[in-house]
Amino acid sequence: MAAGTVDVCAEYGVALAVEDFVPCILAAAALVVLVQAVRARVPQTFLPAAVGAVLIAVGGLSKASWKLLVASGCWEYPILEQVLFPFISFGFAAMAWAILSASKGNVVVGWPFALIPVACSVVAVVVGNMLPLLASAAIGATFFGVTAATVAFRAGKRSVGWVFVVYVLGTNILPPLGAQPNQTAALQWAEQLTNSSIQLLFLLGCLWLREHFKNQPTENPVAEEKAGVPA
């Protein structure tokens, strides 16, 4: 092995790899709640939001599975790691669009949200590197977090607003730290436990969003017409 090359088979312990499923499961639960939240507010967002949630969840679980296979028997299936950035790039674009639609109470134009991951995908192919897709995912997650925080602050729920602020900071700080090579086991544990805590906060914030949006008027002209209310 060349000097400076990281041996992935020696990089992760089994316990550390197992723990990596915790933030993935917490995030998946939060995304289920979030899909319910935006559907309660703007039903038309349900399908794109659900697809986005599935992409993010599958991407995270695939990366965690890759890490566990490498740690437990040095079984290397690169595709499990490589799908993470494309999946979360498009997934967070869909969730950013859905939360903005829900915050406004109507479906907003979607093409600008799709444009960023598509453009970053082209750049990633040209340069032969996944980092543009990581940047795209960070943009989508940041937009989502800032929008959710704004909704909470405007509703007078400052504690939830700060939860989403912490989520935005963690989303942007932890991935670059985790991508650094030759980390100690203690540092990796600290990063993963911090990530688990951030995803738990994300879940709690999404639970509040669901209840908040349930109490807001919905965009449903058909139901309004049936109830005798002009659309």
- Give the residue extent of every domain in the chain: 8-212
- By the 10 Å C-beta count (0-12 exposed, 13-18 middle, 19+ buried), 31 is classed as buried
Query: Taking the model in full, what pTM does it have?
Result: 0.86
Q: Which residue has the tokens 């919905």?
A: 218
- Give me the tens of pLDDT residue by residue for the chain, a chain 231 residues long: 344 445 666 677 889 889 999 999 999 999 999 999 999 899 999 999 999 999 999 999 999 999 999 988 888 888 998 999 999 999 999 999 999 999 999 999 999 999 999 999 999 999 988 889 989 999 999 999 999 999 999 999 999 999 999 999 998 888 777 666 677 778 888 888 999 999 999 999 999 999 999 888 765 443 333 333 333
CA distance linking residue 51 with residue 118, whole number of Å: 16
C-beta separation of 8 from 183 below 8 A: no
C-beta separation of 97 from 46 below 8 A: no
- Residue partners of 2: CB distance under 8 A and separation at least 6: none
CA distance linking residue 30 with residue 45, whole number of Å: 17
**Res 184: pLDDT:** 78
**Res 76: pLDDT:** 84
Residues 160, 161, 166, 169: what is their CA dihedral angle, to the nearest 10 degrees? Answer: 150
